[in-house]
């Protein structure tokens, strides 16, 4: 069964997509065709959206689902006249929230709010540049500024996790690769010793690591299962020997790895 | 007025946070203290969450708000016995969705779904490494693989935008800095000429650019308002001369810049 789904917003559409993806993941027997229409702020754009919804309704012979975070009343009324099954996310929660808070939302008073905030922009950008400058052990002299230092073997997921921590949470994350020398003598590299409390390990199943490395360097010693097994065993031995908390990144999404790091390391999110 | 807000999930908590942040942004007269409790999957963790909620209720002398995406019924019942005002996100939408789809959700049949998917993990990681390898004009020979090539002056937001496009949408985005030479003769750098259709510009207000550059190199020519004005004017002249679409990144969040690039350049999201 195929159903068309629209994520419609007067902003980026990311809230509608995020909630929509989580909800649709609960229906694994249905095949969804997903379309995002952001910045639906004027009559022309809402007319265009309605016409795309109605076209999909015709070709699917079923009403499309619409996840909407549109705030403006006029636009919401126009959208509701399309041939869609509407899930109006904001209106479902804002009324109860107004009651609980005893305060009017700007939704009620008719103005929308941007999520832009110069301070949090700066925190995120600084964290992204911190992650880039302190990637892969490139520099170690700024580790006193790190919120966390991820360690693990090559391609265990350190770099994407550091970047996600920066972009999503404004966290300053450095990362340092454990090399064969470290793994052979089960020692903590010198640069890391004085930052023990900030260290966090990433581990991974050797088979998965070999598959990832094979994409990069097929038929190399680097990608061989023996090499991967020995490196992973060494890395976990170091984590255990020095009491460094770690998570296994195999079959985990970047969101899951990142939030597990935050939770296990007890790091504060810098963006609210 | 201060209210405590909890985002509670049996997964990462990111869906609850994303929706919660959007909703709370509508109440600008209230000061929120925000706490995320992810991976609430067993009795011990839910008991701990309930006790933190009840403690906040006591000290605020008001019921905390709880945004929950917990799926498990037993955990939801335990949470609902806390002294909180509950916003149960999944249960609000899953029943209507089941009706609209004529299908049972795995919520109803009692199993939860992970968002992990090896294929989309690979797409994202590949895109992150593509962004890193093709950052700041470092290489230009892989531009045929790019979904988009961002161009603009130094510190106009190219790198964080490329990384966000990679992590959030699995889009391969390269970026290339416009240098003084390019800006002086208003020409498109040679490496970019054969990729005209993939180019997308980022502009920024000179005052904002000067402020950002001053953080990095105070009192430098690079950060001076004259230099910033002249570079931005040159960049926009190039965008206009060669018909390159562009957005202004001043006062825009990374999400906004990224989604505007996707929309204006007509790029397909690679993650559903």
Q: In what order do the strands lie in the sheet with B173-177?
A: B173-177, B148-152, B199-203, B246-248
CATH number for the domain spanning A203: value is 3.40.50
Domain that holds residue A182: 118-265
- Are A84 and A44 contained in the same domain? yes
Q: Which residue has the higher pLDDT, A117 or B142?
A: B142
Among the partner-chain residues A101, A128, A132, the one whose CB lies closest to the CB of B3 is A101
CA A28 – CA B113 distance, rounded (Å)? 9
- Are B47 and B72 contained in the same domain? yes
* B108 domain-assigned: no
Among the partner-chain residues A25, A163, A258, the one whose CB lies closest to the CB of B113 is A25
CA A80 – CA A74 distance, rounded (Å)? 10
The confidence score (pLDDT) of residue B120 equals: 80
- Are B257 and B198 contained in the same domain? yes
Asked if pLDDT for residue B154 goes beyond 80, the answer is: yes
- Are A163 and A35 contained in the same domain? no
Number of domains in chain B: 2
CA A97 – CA A101 distance, rounded (Å)? 6
Asked if pLDDT for residue B271 goes beyond 80, the answer is: no
- Are A56 and A129 contained in the same domain? no
* B37 domain-assigned: yes
Query: CB of B97 within 8 A of CB of A65?
Result: yes
- Are B255 and B164 contained in the same domain? yes
- pLDDT of chain A, 272 residues: tens digit per residue: 789 999 999 999 999 999 999 999 899 889 999 999 999 999 999 999 999 999 999 999 999 999 999 988 899 999 999 999 999 998 899 989 999 999 988 766 555 445 456 778 889 999 999 999 999 998 899 999 999 999 999 999 999 999 999 999 999 999 999 998 899 989 999 999 999 999 999 999 999 999 999 988 999 999 999 999 999 999 999 999 999 999 999 988 999 999 999 998 888 887 75
Which among A11, A20, A27, A208 is the top mutation candidate for probing chain B, defined by the most B β-carbons within 10 Å of its own β-carbon?
A27
Is A19 in Cβ contact with B15 (below 8 Å)?
yes
Task: Quote the DSSP letter at residue A83.
Answer: S
The confidence score (pLDDT) of residue A142 equals: 94
- Are B97 and B127 contained in the same domain? no
> Which of B101-110, B126-135, B196-205 has the least mean pLDDT?
B101-110
Bridge-based pairing of strands B31-37 and A173-177 is unpaired
pTM score, whole prediction: 0.90
Task: Quote the DSSP letter at residue B110.
Answer: T
- Are B91 and B163 contained in the same domain? no
Task: Quote the DSSP letter at residue A268.
Answer: P
DSSP string, A146-206: -SEEEEESTTSSHHHHHHHHHHHH---EEEEEPPHHHHHHT---HHHHTTGGGEEEEE--H
**Domain's final residue, options B101, B128, B163:** B101
pLDDT in tens, B188-228: 999 999 999 999 999 999 999 999 999 889 999 999 999 99
Is B23 in Cβ contact with A90 (below 8 Å)?
yes
Rounded to 10 deg, the angle between the B118-133 and A158-169 helix axes is 90
Query: CB of A62 within 8 A of CB of A85?
Result: no
Sign of the torsion angle spanned by Cα atoms A89, A94, A95, A96: positive
* A241 domain-assigned: yes
pLDDT in tens, B67-97: 999 988 899 999 999 999 999 998 899 989 9
- Are B171 and B253 contained in the same domain? yes
Cα dihedral B46/B92/A23/A77 (nearest 10)? -150
- ipTM for this model: 0.89
* B111 domain-assigned: no
Residue B2 annotated as lining a ligand binding site = no
**Domain's final residue, options A66, A101, A136:** A101
* A218 domain-assigned: yes
* B112 domain-assigned: no
CA B261 – CA A96 distance, rounded (Å)? 35
Cα dihedral B44/B48/B54/B56 (nearest 10)? -170
Sign of the torsion angle spanned by Cα atoms B205, B208, B213, B216: negative
Query: Per DSSP, which regions of chain B are E strands?
Result: 2-8, 31-37, 65-68, 85-88, 148-152, 173-177, 199-203, 246-248
Whether A65 and chain B come into contact, CB under 8 Å, resolves to yes
* A144 domain-assigned: yes
Residue B59 annotated as lining a ligand binding site = no
Dihedral pair phi/psi, residue A137, rounded to 5°: 70, 15
- Are A19 and A143 contained in the same domain? no
Nearest alpha carbon to residue A264 among A185, B129, B69, A252: A252
Which among A11, A26, A29, A111 is the top mutation candidate for probing chain B, defined by the most B β-carbons within 10 Å of its own β-carbon?
A26
Model confidence band, residue B113 (pLDDT cutoffs 50, 70, 90): very low
Query: CB of B149 within 8 A of CB of B239?
Result: no
Judging contacts by C-beta atoms under 8 Å, the chain A residues touching residue B1 are: 103
Residue A99 annotated as lining a ligand binding site = no
Query: CB of A51 within 8 A of CB of A31?
Result: no
Whether A253 and chain B come into contact, CB under 8 Å, resolves to yes
- Element (DSSP H or E) covering residue B165: helix B158-169
- Are A158 and A259 contained in the same domain? yes
CA A271 – CA A258 distance, rounded (Å)? 14
- Are B13 and B96 contained in the same domain? yes
Judging contacts by C-beta atoms under 8 Å, the chain B residues touching residue A212 are: 125
Interface of B with A in 87-116 (CB under 8 A): 87, 89-90, 92-94, 96-97, 100-101, 103, 105-107, 113-116
CA A195 – CA A187 distance, rounded (Å)? 14
Judging contacts by C-beta atoms under 8 Å, the chain A residues touching residue B264 are: none
Determine the residue of chain B that is closest to A130 in CA distance: B160
**Domain's final residue, options B56, B75, B101:** B101
* A113 domain-assigned: no
Among the partner-chain residues B63, B215, B254, the one whose CB lies closest to the CB of A167 is B254
pLDDT in tens, B53-69: 999 999 999 999 999 99
- Taking the alpha carbons at both ends of chain B, their separation in whole angstroms is 40
């Amino acid at each position: 069964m195929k159903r068309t789904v629209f994520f419609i917003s007067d902003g980026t559409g990311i809230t509608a997509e995020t909630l929509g993806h989580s909800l649709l993941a609960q229906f694994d027997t249905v095949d969804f065709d997903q379309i995002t229409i952001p910045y639906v702020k004027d009559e022309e754009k809402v007319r265009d959206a309605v016409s795309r919804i109605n076209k999909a309704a015709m070709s699917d012979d079923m009403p499309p689902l619409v996840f909407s975070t549109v705030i403006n009343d006029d636009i919401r009324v126009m959208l509701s006249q399309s041939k869609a099954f509407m899930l109006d996310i904001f209106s479902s929660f804002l009324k109860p929230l107004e009651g609980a808070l005893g305060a009017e939302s700007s939704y009620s008073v008719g103005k929308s709010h941007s999520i832009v905030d110069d301070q949090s922009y700066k925190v995120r950008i600084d964290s992204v540049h911190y992650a880039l400058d302190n990637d892969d052990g490139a520099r170690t002299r700024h580790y006193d500024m790190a919120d966390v230092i991820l360690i693990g073997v090559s391609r265990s997921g350190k770099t994407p996790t550091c970047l996600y921590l920066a972009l999503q949470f404004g966290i300053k994350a450095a990362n340092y690769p454990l090399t064969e020398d470290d793994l052979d003598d089960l020692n903590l590299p010198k640069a890391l010793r004085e930052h023990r409390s900030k260290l966090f390990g990433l581990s991974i199943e050797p088979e998965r690591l070999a598959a990832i490395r094979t994409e990069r360097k097929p038929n190399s010693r680097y990608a061989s299962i023996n090499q991967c097994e020995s490196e992973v065993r060494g890395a976990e031995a170091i984590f255990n020997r020095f009491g460094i908390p770690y998570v296994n990144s195999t079959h985990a999404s970047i969101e899951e790895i990142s939030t597990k790091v935050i939770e296990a390391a007890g790091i504060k999110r810098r963006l609210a």
